[in-house]
């Protein structure tokens, strides 16, 4: 990518850093919204009008009456008071509001930078792609909520997983783009790090698969069963792993299988990342690469501890949110490692 001037480089990176931080906050708020069972509290999607919350008692009664017509109220929260409804309403409201704010904070500076000639062609294309992902994410969010406004007051685990995965992709794309602006590619220095680069790509992909797996765990609430570790109940491999038919549906609809898969991916990462870190120490890579890899190892340790604690304690909100937050940081740090290797090899 063509290098920007130093001033424009700092401006664009600062803007993308703000957007990335907002997306990170969005992931946290989204996790809290799900864990507090607040996602179905607003039963309509009004991108513009919905920005204004209830302002008086009559407004609150109106939105509460709309919620009373939903399956969640009728089957789960029947008899809920207005004050109790306000708690779940505000979580979902701020989740949607933050999404709208991210769109504005991304789009308005983008137009300004583009009109002022501070973005090159390649960067404009990348940013337009991120903006398109943001639009897709908004639509997927409502598509997910709509699945829980029918007979069954539970959102589809498929749609929830798609919604979560797109959020991570947006976070990753913003981070990668900011790093590319901050550290433009250099001439190929012929550094013997090609294998490590491929290794890091494999870790990136496995972490993304881990995110998808976590989405199914969340969507099926699979963390509420087998709250033991390291065994699942009395065995490492639970007996009801393939209880559903056809067999492949177990990977997406069987709570036991979904949790088992999540554990296996975690074990795999717990083995691969320390190996990657150790091998990287023996390669001629930058100090930045080594520092990012050390941070990745620390975040992996924290994530494993949080995952076990979350499972053993029955998925309390604070631990569940922390687990999702650290997962996003771990994924981003792994991308930073890959980018730092690639930028020295002249690949971006």
**Of the candidates 175, 174, 217, which has an alpha carbon nearest to the alpha carbon of residue 334?**
175
Domains of the chain, residue spans: 1-184, 186-348
Report the alpha-carbon angle 170-320-316, nearest 5: 155
User: What Å distances lie between residue 175 and 14, 16, 111, 168, 213, CA to CA?
Assistant: 11, 8, 19, 10, 22
If you average pLDDT over residues 66-94, what whole number do you get? 94
Q: Contact at 8 Å (CB) between 96 and 50?
A: yes
CA separation for the pair 157, 216 (Å, rounded):
6
pTM of the model: 0.93
pLDDT over threshold 80, residue 2: no
Render pLDDT for 174-189 as a digit per residue (tens, 0 to 9). Answer: 999 999 998 876 645 4
At residue 348, the pLDDT reads: 60
Render pLDDT for 269-281 as a digit per residue (tens, 0 to 9). Answer: 999 999 999 999 8
């Amino acid at each position: 990518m063509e290098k920007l001037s130093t001033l424009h480089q700092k401006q664009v990176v600062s803007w993308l850093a703000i957007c990335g931080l907002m997306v990170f906050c969005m992931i946290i708020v989204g996790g809290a919204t799900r864990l507090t069972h607040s996602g179905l509290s607003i039963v309509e999607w009004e991108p513009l009008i919905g920005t204004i919350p209830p302002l008086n008692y009559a407004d609150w009664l109106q939105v509460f009456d709309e919620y009373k017509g939903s399956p969640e109220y009728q089957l789960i929260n029947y008899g809920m008071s207005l004050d109790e409804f306000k708690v779940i309403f505000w979580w979902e409201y701020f989740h949607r509001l933050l999404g709208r704010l991210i769109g504005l904070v991304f789009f308005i500076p983008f137009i300004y930078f583009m009109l002022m000639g501070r973005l090159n062609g390649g960067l404009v294309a990348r940013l337009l792609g991120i903006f398109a992902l943001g639009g897709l994410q908004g639509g997927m969010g409502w598509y997910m909520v709509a699945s829980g406004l029918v007979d069954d007051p539970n959102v589809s685990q498929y749609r929830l997983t798609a919604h979560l995965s797109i959020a991570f992709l947006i976070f990753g794309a913003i981070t990668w783009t900011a790093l590319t602006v901050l550290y433009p590619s250099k001439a190929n220095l012929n550094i013997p790090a090609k294998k490590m680069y491929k290794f890091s790509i494999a870790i990136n992909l496995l972490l993304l698969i881990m995110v998808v797996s976590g989405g199914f765990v969340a969507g099926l609430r699979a963390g509420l069963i087998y709250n033991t570790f390291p065994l699942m109940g009395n065995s490492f491999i639970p007996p009801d792993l393939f209880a559903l038919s056809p067999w492949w549906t177990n990977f997406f609809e069987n709570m036991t299988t979904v949790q088992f898969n999540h554990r296996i991916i975690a074990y795999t990462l717990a083995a691969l990342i320390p190996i990657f870190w150790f091998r990287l120490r023996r390669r001629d890579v930058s100090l930045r690469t080594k520092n990012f890899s050390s941070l990745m190892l620390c975040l992996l340790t924290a994530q494993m501890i949080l995952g076990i604690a979350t499972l053993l304690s029955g998925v309390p909100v604070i631990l569940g949110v922390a687990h999702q937050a650290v997962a996003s940081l771990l994924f981003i740090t792994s991308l930073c490692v890959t980018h730092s290797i690639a930028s020295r090899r002249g690949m971006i």
